[in-house]
Structure 1
Amino acid sequence: MTQIRSRPRSELFAAGVLVTATAILVAQFLTATPTAVVVGDESTRLGTVGWQFGLHDVVVIAVAACAVGASTTALLNGIGSSSATSADTTCSDTSTQESTDSTSSELLQARRQEWETVSERLASNEEQVYQAVLDADGVLPQSEIVNRTELSKATVSRTLDSLEAKNLVERKRRGMGNIVLLT
């Protein structure tokens, strides 16, 4: 049985922007205005010298190119996968970093409460695996789950399949293994 993995809306939106902006770029480049050489008052046309873009064309091309770049970057970076980590590393001012840390710890506590209520509604193996990831603040290598729960690799893998189907966890490939994230 093939399992279809749903994509987050942000990834679908970025993919849609990428396709649309690329189509706009192609259309703009294919519809450039030819430059003609005209001699005399009667507008005798001697031929086409090259192609010219008007101000409107340049603005549309620039906006579409920015949209292509932004959506491609978002898709390649896996939209929002490590926003808290990147926010902490880019802050150089210590006061800003302290406020970011306190905000992220408040968010973590709020998420932890949500996750704990979810944990109470799960089956035995699901609860063990979910609780192991929860105890690690929502991020844990799959191999570590096997060590912490004393379940077999196959049981952990099947349990994660079940939790992924319920949109409670997400597995991301990292090197030779997987990182499990609570959603």
Structure 2
Amino acid sequence: MRNISGRQLLAAVIFLAATLVLTVQLINPTPVVVSVGDNGSDVVEAGKQFRYSDVGIITVAAWVMGASLLYLVLSVKRDSVLTEQSTSTPPAAPATQTGRTDRSVHLEFTDDATSPIERHRTHFDETTDRLDDTEREIYSMVLDADGEIQQRTIVADTDFSKATVTRTLDSLETKGLLERKRQGVGNVVVLQGSVPV
């Protein structure tokens, strides 16, 4: 669970208070009272209207509510970006015997030198274990097509509807396996560059 800062808590309280004030003002406009008769003895309520002071309160409450909500959204987004960056920072370089940081270039040959298709094929079994049947079939089709296939070809070559293919591709994109690129009037489905861990 993420910690909430004091400013975010204050902004949330201000947002709730402004929402309450705005709601009360909109629900309860001021009644207009009219005196009728020669001596003003008959008083009649002619309806409910917003006075200038009501409109001012509504305007200020709406502005405060919007500003506090904007602050909350931006601060939460900023915190999540900072959290992502702090979790993805590379490890520090190892220190040498003299206690200084080693600044030499270290080349390491890993499977990054292979193509995306080879990486996906290498990790195929562990990747497809996490997929349902529809996702597995579409993912396999893209691999069999050397990592690139038209979306309309997937629809034509399977028993799946366009909606099912679209939903499945959304899911596979979210999982970091495939991505769609616009090509002419349709989409081409390609493998993403790396296999997610």
> Is this a same-fold pair by TM over 0.5?
no
TM-score (norm 1): 0.39
Q: Whose Rg is larger?
A: 2
TM-score (norm 2): 0.37
User: Which structure features the higher share of helix residues?
Assistant: 1
